[in-house]
Structure 1
């Protein structure tokens, strides 16, 4: 009888929640099981090709963190050459759990290299309430105001990393999208598919929302214009070539490469885009199904809010659908990742060779006009490679697509080298 009663009353309303309650500890009074899981996102644990290690550091006045993740730049110095002249060449570390997302953005050395805008808060903080306050109740107006603020000023307005209110309606607990960038981006994507005036919070299915709430932040984006408006470049589709075509039609460069002079783009974290090309998305399996799988607590069925790699939770994340042993499933995933990693290294070597050749051509006195084609190929090769490099599954979300993208990156690098060879031969 006790278990039946527990199932009928999934939570006890200890405190009243409203659209201004952003502190997750208050939500935790009504949802202690979920809150306990949420707090465990401080865990740092490696998988074979991902996860993070807890690296001790001495706190300073400028950076009070005593633990950080390992440096990707130290693991692969080629990244410094790929991003030469850009802030990521100064500091790029392995991603950590949601608990660290705000602090790691606040204290990254990239903040020293370039003064970042308040736009960055969109995917690194709980911004729903700050946006509403800034916009005097209007989410979009608050979003636009924070975008244009210096990062240091915007940082004063936020207190938490992603919290309950960013994904849940406080009255019904239904999933909802609160990030303006996604609201506008998915509307543009749907418009390209013939669906007009798409409202994600009214028209998406519940299962779609189990991906969309994660896709609010785990996406490719850029800062548009002097107002630094956050835009998801989805108006032509979600594939890398669709996004590249968007950037060609809406000219944008993130930086100019310090060694070659090429105008380049920095891919961000396009998990949502790559997942959309994979078998799990095609089968209706969402982010939450694998990264926040259901579990039993007494008579309650809840989503595991200890968001992490499915490879650290194979039993619930994978074996619900796949009836093989944990070792077999982990081995299959790691095989896909290993193939991607090998192709990533080949693509990286090809890009390094192209960069070296453009540098040599510049040093020989070739004018910029004659280097244009090689630089264009660097732009494409770098973005395609970075699209996989910046994506956090090392290809697992769509293994075939990831390898295809890397193969095309290699092709662009080699075409750039061929263009330079032809210039040399024509002398």
Structure 2
């Protein structure tokens, strides 16, 4: 009898195992969208209203909404809208003649993007002025954009003025900027990013999911410029994404953002090159870490695991961010502080060197008898030095995304600035132009 019972049990185990294998095989062979939890509502392609996505993804949406009110600062950054011009008055001089000398605030959370771009004093809303603000400035501010680009194309979009585009922009940054409705996969939505990859011979659709957890941020967190009269959004990556390669691109294309007053230097303004900075051989990037691993760590709501969309500095939640890999988060925070202090201090020293160069070039121009070739070379070095400095300054990590790259770039910028200063002095044979620390000199009434 016992033997008979054992045979029955063994038979049941075999039957259950076969059934389980069959079920798993069936599930595995289903399309990805059928294997996942079925959504409560169907989301239309490129749906700009994130609240509609929230029905299926309430935790992600609720955490995204926190970026509207979170305004906690770290030592060198954070989410409050402080003025860089007040925190570092040198930048008023560095950006003289450009709108950034009038208004330059630190970024707030993602949900505030649309409000903040409409409130900045850098806008020129006079469409009769050839220098009016183009619609291109909306490119990274709204979840309406993927649909608009799809319907009208980016060329037509960028040719419009900021004023003309405003009635079409009703939603701030949201789900549609990063996700494909239905599958929820991470995608490239910005045509400028897609085109930049194509010019590099890369197909973003072949990237791994982990790679896309960084690439999706490159829809916005990149260096860019407005190309030609149509203000066509363009990423200057044709030669590569290092600062030297981007400078070469701008030099070959003859592009300038503005002309510095009293020196006639054709200047460049860096934007927010987090992607280029992080991917330039940083330790974390080489280790396979993505932007989302640190800035959007996985968290739990009961039994539900999800990626937090409350994007902010990992220093504000180090256990969830850094603690996934590092066992001693206090040590990590200490290291971050040391790195950022080094970069912040070096950055100010570079600014002083650039201002010395600016003042020397101004004096040489004012003299009226400068050697033209030497003066032009001084201008070129000033342009390069300030752009290199700005790549570090405009990048939102005070160097931590790539410390070695940050310090090297600042060192190269300082070197170029001092060379520019020396050439300006040589151009009129005036050694007094070699004085340093001219930012601190009280102007003569």
2:175 to 140, 147, 164: 164
Deviation at 1:319, TM superposition (A): 0.7
Quick check: 1:95 aligned with 2:107? yes
Q: Secondary structure at the match of 1:30?
A: coil
Deviation at 1:9, TM superposition (A): 9.2
Q: Deviations over 1:6-43 (max 9, x none)?
A: xx997562321111421011110111111100000111
Quick check: 1:226 aligned with 2:229? yes
- Conservation of the 8 A alpha-carbon contact between 1:176 and 1:213: yes
In structure 1, distance between residues paired with 2:179 and 2:378: 48
* TM-score relative to the length of structure 1: 0.88
In structure 1, distance between residues paired with 2:262 and 2:173: 37
Q: Secondary structure at the match of 1:91?
A: coil
In structure 1, distance between residues paired with 2:262 and 2:296: 43
2:74 to 47, 51, 55: 47
- Conservation of the 8 A alpha-carbon contact between 2:295 and 2:314: yes
In structure 1, distance between residues paired with 2:121 and 2:249: 30
Moved over 6 A (4+): none
How many residues are treated as equivalent by the alignment? 389
Aligned position for 1:348 = 351
Distance 1:346 1:20, change over 3 A: closer
Aligned position for 1:83 = 95
Aligned position for 1:390 = 394
In structure 1, distance between residues paired with 2:191 and 2:342: 36
- Conservation of the 8 A alpha-carbon contact between 1:11 and 1:31: no
2:207 to 185, 201, 204: 204
* TM-score relative to the length of structure 2: 0.84
Quick check: 1:155 aligned with 2:166? yes
Q: Secondary structure at the match of 2:305?
A: strand
Distance 1:212 1:350, change over 3 A: same
Q: Tell me which moved more, 293-302 or 99-108.
A: 293-302
Query: Which structure: larger Rg?
Result: 2
* Aligned residue runs from structure 1 range 22-421, under 5 A: 22-42=48-68, 43-53=70-80, 69-112=81-124, 115-126=132-143, 127-133=145-151, 135=152, 142-189=153-200, 191=201, 198-200=202-204, 202-277=205-280, 278-324=282-328, 326-366=329-369, 369-370=372-373, 371-421=375-425
State the superposition RMSD in angstroms: 1.8
Q: Deviations over 1:392-411 (max 9, x none)?
A: 01100000000000000000
In structure 2, distance between residues paired with 1:10 and 1:33: 17
In structure 1, distance between residues paired with 2:97 and 2:348: 22
Q: Secondary structure at the match of 1:284?
A: coil
Consecutive unaligned residues of structure 2, counting only runs of 5 or more, are: 1-33, 126-130, 432-445
In structure 2, distance between residues paired with 1:270 and 1:161: 21
Distance 1:268 1:285, change over 3 A: same
In structure 1, distance between residues paired with 2:215 and 2:369: 48
Deviation at 1:112, TM superposition (A): 3.6
In structure 2, distance between residues paired with 1:366 and 1:349: 26
- Conservation of the 8 A alpha-carbon contact between 1:222 and 1:232: yes
Distance 1:368 1:14, change over 3 A: farther
